[in-house]
Amino acid sequence: MKLDLFLKNGLLVFPGEGALPGGLGIRDGKIVLTAALGEEFDAARSIDCQGQWIMPGIIDPHVHFGFGDPENDFRTESRSAALGGVTSVISFYRTKDFREGFDAERTRAESQSVIDFSYHLGLTNDLHVKTLAECYERFGVSSYKMYMMYKGQAGLAKGFTDIDDGLLFAAMRETAALPGAILGVHCENVEVIPYLRDPLRAEGRDDLVAWDEQSPDFLEAENVHRVCYFARKTGCAVNIVHLSSKEALDEVRRHRYAGGPPMYVETCPHYLFTDKHDPAGVLAKANPPLRSQDDIDALWEGILDGTVTTVGTDHVPRKRATKEKSVWSASNGLPGVATFLPILMEAGYHQRQVPPEVLAMVASRTAARTYNMHGKGTLTPGADADIVVVDPDLERVVDPANLLSYSDYSPFEGRSLRGWPTMTFSRGRLLAENGKLTDAAIDGTGHYLPRLPKHQR
């Protein structure tokens, strides 16, 4: 059998299992074999990966494409993702009635994306809950998100009138009835925040530490408690997205029990890497806020013991100008899809000796499993040839100009990171090489990923 591509002499990283020197054979966009070190195969192209890791492509299950330039984000941000070794993303879709808007949104993204993609549906009204089963079937979307951040007054300011604990409970009941479906929840108790925030503002505080003080870890943990408790009562699989603190993580641990519904935890590269004293200041303003060194340590512990199941960037590609304000009025969120892998490499592999197979687990394999992304997150023959080749020792300073995002800043700009992708393959096509896109990075070559569990299709 002649291969299209043979990646040889690398370190094959098998998520959750281990890493072995060897090679990988690719044909017709699929992985067809793994080879022992020194084994040779006839291939149209052979690439020597000496000293490099060969990993399943990174999956970023939490991006907000559309928050930068709605018309073009799927073009620019999917390119930025490919550059960073990310081969699939799940973005968020929010509109009044999904049944009316989804197809057009998907079609536009299909014409722009250079990597595979899918959506989570943002549930903000009763209609969303009532039509959930229909949307699951019709669009193949098995993951949803509720924003406890947009309850009450905070929701009204954004035009949401229906978000309360009742809607949360109803969404959980509905999700629990759909095979393989999962509800992600943004956990911060937004009703308490003003009582902490207003005095800090009145004092004239304007710093990231104050941003943490206005929404401290226990307001996140309180919401986590409520979500996990309702999960136990409804049997709904829940996912605490962008979890930021030890306090909240311990709350999940308290609620998990054998035979209970899955309680997944996602954290973000920024919570694993930096804290509220970051000199980037308001550029690093996010929800939930950056926490402390203790929280960073606890999240890495959570990755090692399996409590933290996935990492997603919460990528928000806005311009620097939206950040250059007081901490109270600057925009929320950070661009991060292009620095996802280098940050895990620097903070995980280099600073903490976290093994490659653990990083591949939280940055690829578990996301594929949790979100029903068939053929992704694995090097097993038969899987899509979504591959990232990583030079673990390549050191580079983060410069937003090289990341190709619509966003023109990075909260990590100027920082030196060790461990960058040297090649990104999507379904066997080389999209990026040595920090540059290739000619194969053509708009619309990414595929939409329907995500129903296998027996449902």
Cα separation, 81 vs 114, in Å, equals: 9
Residue among 226, 93, 220, 72 nearest 149 (CA): 220
Enumerate residues 6+ apart whose C-beta is below 8 A from 448.
106, 109, 110, 116, 117, 118
- Cis peptide bond N-terminal to 335, omega within 30: no
Q: Which stretch binds Zn ion (CB under 5 A): 10-18, 306-314, 390-398, 434-442?
A: 306-314
What is the smallest separation between the CB atom of 271 and Zn ion, expressed in angstroms?
13
What is the smallest separation between the CB atom of 319 and Zn ion, expressed in angstroms?
18
What is the smallest separation between the CB atom of 205 and Zn ion, expressed in angstroms?
25
Q: Indicate the Cα dihedral angle 313, 320, 388, 30, nearest 10°.
A: 80
How are beta strands 429-433 and 436-437 bridged, if at all? antiparallel
Q: Over the Cα atoms of the chain, what is R_g?
A: 21
> Across-strand partners of 417?
396
Helix (H) or strand (E) segment spanning residue 269: helix 269-273
What is the smallest separation between the CB atom of 11 and Zn ion, expressed in angstroms?
33
Structure tokens at 281: 């200041």
Q: Which is nearer to Zn ion, 98 or 425 (CB)?
A: 98
Q: Which is nearer to Zn ion, 222 or 266 (CB)?
A: 266
Q: Which is nearer to Zn ion, 184 or 302 (CB)?
A: 184
Cα separation, 2 vs 7, in Å, equals: 13
Q: Which is nearer to Zn ion, 105 or 314 (CB)?
A: 314
Q: Which is nearer to Zn ion, 271 or 349 (CB)?
A: 271
Q: Which stretch binds Zn ion (CB under 5 A): 8-16, 102-110, 313-321, 439-447?
A: 313-321
Q: Which stretch binds Zn ion (CB under 5 A): 158-166, 255-263, 311-319, 409-417?
A: 311-319
Q: Which residue is nearest to Zn ion (CB)?
A: 314
Q: Which is nearer to Zn ion, 295 or 314 (CB)?
A: 314
Please report, as residue ranges, which positions from 376 to 435 form the binding site for Zn ion (by CB under 5 A). none
Q: Which is nearer to Zn ion, 155 or 375 (CB)?
A: 155
> Across-strand partners of 144?
121, 183
Residues in the chain: 457
What is the smallest separation between the CB atom of 147 and Zn ion, expressed in angstroms?
9
What is the smallest separation between the CB atom of 433 and Zn ion, expressed in angstroms?
30
Q: Which stretch binds Zn ion (CB under 5 A): 28-36, 162-170, 310-318, 367-375?
A: 310-318
Q: Which is nearer to Zn ion, 315 or 427 (CB)?
A: 315
Please report, as residue ranges, which positions from 49 to 108 form the binding site for Zn ion (by CB under 5 A). none
Cα separation, 236 vs 74, in Å, equals: 31
Structure tokens at 115: 């990597």
What is the smallest separation between the CB atom of 63 and Zn ion, expressed in angstroms?
8
Q: Which stretch binds Zn ion (CB under 5 A): 51-59, 314-322, 381-389, 390-398?
A: 314-322
Enumerate residues 6+ apart whose C-beta is below 8 A from 430.
423, 424, 438, 440
Residue among 294, 446, 435 nearest 376 (CA): 446
How many amino acids of this chain bind Zn ion (CB under 5 A)?
Answer: 1
Cβ neighbour number for residue 206 with a 10 Å cutoff: 17
What is the smallest separation between the CB atom of 247 and Zn ion, expressed in angstroms?
20
**Among 77, 314, 346, 386, contact with Zn ion (rule: CB under 5 A):** 314
Residues forming the site for Zn ion (CB under 5 A) = 314
